[in-house]
Amino acid sequence: MKRIKQSCFDYYFLIPFKGIISVVIILMSTSLFAQEAKMVQGTVMSDDGSPLPGVNIVIKNSSIGTTTDFDGNYSISTSPEDILVFTYIGFESQEITVGNENIINVTMKEDFANLDEVVVIGYGTQRKADLTGAVSVVDVDYAKKTMTYDVAKMLQGQAPGVTVQSSGEPGGFVNIKIRGITSFRNNNPLFVVDGVIVEDPYDFATGDIESMQVLKDASSAAIYGARGANGVVIITTKKGKEGKLNISYKTTIGFQNVAKNRWYSLANREQYQQLVRAAETNANDQGLNVPISPGVYPDNELFIDNINTDWQDAAFKAGIIENHSIGLNGGAKKLSYNVNLDYFKNTSYIETPQAYERYSANINLNGEKGRFKYGAKLAYSFSDKENFNEYLAGTSSIINLLQAIPTMPVYDPTRDGGYGGTDGIAQRAITLNIIGYNNLITNENKRNRFVGNIWGEFEIFKGLKYKLNISGDRLNWNTRYFNPPSDLGWYYVTGNAESRLETTNGHITRTILNNLLTYDVTLVDKHVFNLMAGVIQERSDNYNLTARGTGYEPGEIAHFEYADDRDAFERETVETYKSYIGRLNYSFDDKYLLEATFRQDKSSKFQPKNNTGNYFSVSGAWKVHNEDFISLPDWLNTLKLRAGYGQLGNNTIGVYEFALNTNSFANYLFGDDLAPGTTVVKIVDPDIKWEDTETTNVAAEFGMFNNRLQFTAEYFKKKSTDLLANVPIPYSSGSFPIELTTNAGTVQNTGMEFTLSFSDTVKDFGYNISANLGTLKNEVLKIGNNNTPIQDGVGRTEVGRSAGEIYTYQTEGIFQSQEEIDNAPFQTGNTRPGDIKFKDINEDGQINDEDRTFQGTVIPKINFGLNLSANYKNFDFSCFFQGAAGHKIYNATYQNLMLGDLVNSHTDMLNYWRPDNTDTNVPRPVIGDPNGNNRNSNRFIEDGDYVRLQNIEIGYNLPIETKVFEKARIFASGQNLFVITKYNGFDPDFLSNGLFNRGTEFGSFPNPRTLALGVQVDF
């Protein structure tokens, strides 16, 4: 088996790495053909004759560069064909060809108009300096250093107010929220890629992204109306540029594992057997009469002493992650193009076939002829994800792995399927071999997706433009699940009749038609207007067909025709939207800015009387630094104050939820006659309507020390009303489930956000520091008409508190004697010395559900990120720290390892109470846990604060420039190399339901540690 593992490691890791090394050697050898260098020197001054210190001077298409000294002087080694690029904040950049010159003096002109880049906003663009809403511009270069398949994961720690929860499952779901909870249902933001509204952005390659903006308040997102309440992430992919064909290639290959210092400490065979013997003895000593497990008693003929499986060591391996992409860019004014071909694959770090693989292609076309501009986007992706399997819904493969007993082997050729299992007599433990289970079962999800977008813009007359945009998004998916006959132990036997095949084939087709009219005009050189109006129509068609077959013989082909029984069902839905939008931007003398937006949405998800939502926003800004009557200190270059207010909507309900569900086969017996009939299955609220969110935002932006130091401070308040919630109703209603979906909730989020960045260059050394921090306070203001709390596991959502706070019993130590038990509030009739003592919160003399209490918030009060980067000559370095603080985690994984039962345990359980070991906080093990020692309590609550080195990268730009190679870079990177935390589980960043039980870590796949090498070449 070790040889097999090694060969796989060679195939997936060493061989690709050898390929990278070979490419590097070729590139380095090519640099021998570089031309002879010469020294160029000179002085850089401003247009008033003052020397400019710290001007960046680089050779175009390379990282070779320098900076001017205090007197504006510089020197650099170049070749005659080189082009020197001079850049300085607040001044126009210049490009100068070296030629035969040895002295090049440069005069730079101020360029205040280009201090800020143009950013993409809803249905348009705007200078960053003119933004009046809360828009975070993500540094894509930093974000791309996180090697991932999902753009949502890239956002973690990159923008204040954005929180991300993820796991290490290949192709697994990523949970993202912007400025807290705005709905009791879906809180994920809207994603817009190249102007196309998309669901599930993980189908698209992350390497092709050119810019990302996060719209966080109503003044920036109201233009998206009912889609914008949860925030909007706008993604723009690379566009074609005029000029010759440029070809780029990038490859990154790495391996992943779970850091061994984060593994759980599990009992080995002898320790496990000791704990089971103690648990059975304790149970029988108090008269519970449980059968014994012969396999744990040395004097029994069924005693097991030849198997000692370390399940973490058996399961955890090196997973492979790789990404390869080819880009082509070029064209002319009439038609430019950018083509990106991408391949991504991630295999599991568990000894199972689970993996995620994706092929994607993206083509962007742009052109201009006269007054007509046009363009198109064509994107295609195919992905194949092999899912992990749950024996029962709501269970966890990770917890099953950790609970697997050490006396169960991984492989057993005598069992059907060839994998080990437990014996119902010798071991009695109900424990699942997840290695065998996941290798035996096929559970694949294949997706084919095509996104197309074509647009044209015509300038009717100066300033007035009409734009037509037609887009389509077609997703076809196929899921296939096959569970063959197998024997994985006495509880986990899949007989021929239970074996089953289930497939689902479906498609979603979304079409969007945008008609936009914009008008730009400047009056008297000071009054600048931008007006936009439009009509948007959208339709979404959803269809799926599910077929099932049961009853297969071992080795029988997994096709439906071989099943003993077959059935199928299909479902089809249609959604339609129609929206009217409008926006006004006004600027007076580049000092005072005003923006107003309006959007009306109509949706088929609601009754006609409630299907319309009207949303608006207004925001403004004051550029204090442009005022003539205000004199700012020399070190303060820019100061902008801005504020905004607006309303947004949310329609996070399923289709037809306002319509009654009926059962047309509800026959009823009248005497001796069976009469056909129809009955209501689920009671609904026909008057459900949009959820509404209103936001208030104020901010101050500072630019200091020639704008090298940028600082922004922001306050926000976001209140969401009419939230759709499932309110309990009486059993007498006859409804199933016993709840009513209605507009019944109100929640509020407030917080502060800070961003700070500083960059500078000293001779050959340049560096950049950027940091962001966001605070968040969440408060539930209303739940239904009676404010009935929502309980979900250990999470409780109650008015006056944050959503999903931990609500459990409070422990007070361990009972040391029967006398202490007799004098304490009554717990159970089976309480014995060595059991947990729970606190009587309401002091009624007994321990019951009324004694649960709030134990802490699970929503981090603080989220932060820190990016550091530096470059020296041809070397570059960057690292990214990310973290969260001010919250608790309920470690349900650890709870399931402290059962003191027949499954395996954490080694902490060995310190259990016994008469000769009373100074402990670990209760006695006992089969059945009659005192409820393992009930939800503060025993399993831990601090969730953490700081993680999310990414670190070191690169080197090869000194190469020939007719074939324009530039080349090699780099080594690491992700999740260490985490500083008091949390004792695998990972303080885990995936949960993200809402009512957000703080419970229940066997989430830990985020792996990644080491990778890569090469990037431009031709």
Q: What angle do CA 244, 245, 247 make, to 5 degrees?
A: 140
- 8 A C-beta contact, residue 363 and residue 379: yes
Question: How far is residue 237 from each of residues 111, 204, 210, 632, 642, measured CA to CA in Å?
Answer: 27, 10, 5, 39, 29
Q: Residue 1014 and residue 954: Cα distance in Å, rounded? A: 10
User: Whose CA is closest to 122, among 217, 239, 237, 241?
Assistant: 217
What is the distance between the alpha carbons of residues 759 and 883, in angstroms, rounded to a whole number? 23
Long-range contacts of 281-286 (CB under 8 A, 24+ apart): 282/832, 282/834, 282/924, 282/925, 282/926, 282/927, 283/926, 283/927, 283/928, 283/930, 286/830, 286/832, 286/926, 286/930
CB 225 within 8 A of CB 163: no
Q: Quote the DSSP letter at residue 826.
A: B
pLDDT, residue 89, reads: 67
Residue type, 342: D
CA 54 from centre of chain: 39
Amino acid at 261: N
Adjacent-strand bridge partners of 368 = 373
| First and final C-alpha spacing in the chain | 44
The strand pair at 73-78 and 805-808 is best described as: unpaired
Q: Report, as ranges of residue numbers, the positions in the chain whose pLDDT lies below 70.
A: 1-37, 48, 63, 89-90, 110-116, 665, 732-736, 961, 994
> In 155-195, which residue ranges form alpha helices assigned H by DSSP?
none
Residue 473 to residue 377: CA distance in whole angstroms: 11
Sign of torsion over alpha carbons 684, 689, 690, 694: negative
What is the widest separation between alpha-carbon atoms in the chain? Answer: 110
Residues 927, 902 contacting (CB under 8 angstroms): yes
Closest of 357, 432, 429 to residue 389, by C-alpha: 432
CA–CA separation, 159 and 181 (whole Å): 17
State which H helix or E strand residue 435 sits in. helix 434-440
The answer to whether 596 touches 618, Cβ cutoff 8 Å, is yes
pLDDT, residue 199, reads: 83
SS3 696: strand
| Residue whose entry in the numeric block shows the structure tokens 């999740």 | 976
Contact between residue 800 and residue 779 where contact means Cβ atoms under 8 Å apart: yes
Long-range contacts of 8-11 (CB under 8 A, 24+ apart): 9/318
- In the numeric block, which tokens belong to residue 45? 């001054």
CA pair distance 379, 363, nearest whole angstrom: 6
Beta strand 888-891 with 1000-1001: parallel, antiparallel or unpaired? Answer: parallel
For residue 10, CA distances in Å to 14, 310, 632 come to 5, 24, 63
Structure tokens at 900: 């003191």
pLDDT at position 681:
72
* 109-113-119 Cα angle (round to 5): 135
Cα separation, 249 vs 969, whole angstroms: 11
Amino acid at the residue 396: S
Angle 234-236-239 from CA coordinates, rounded to 5°: 165
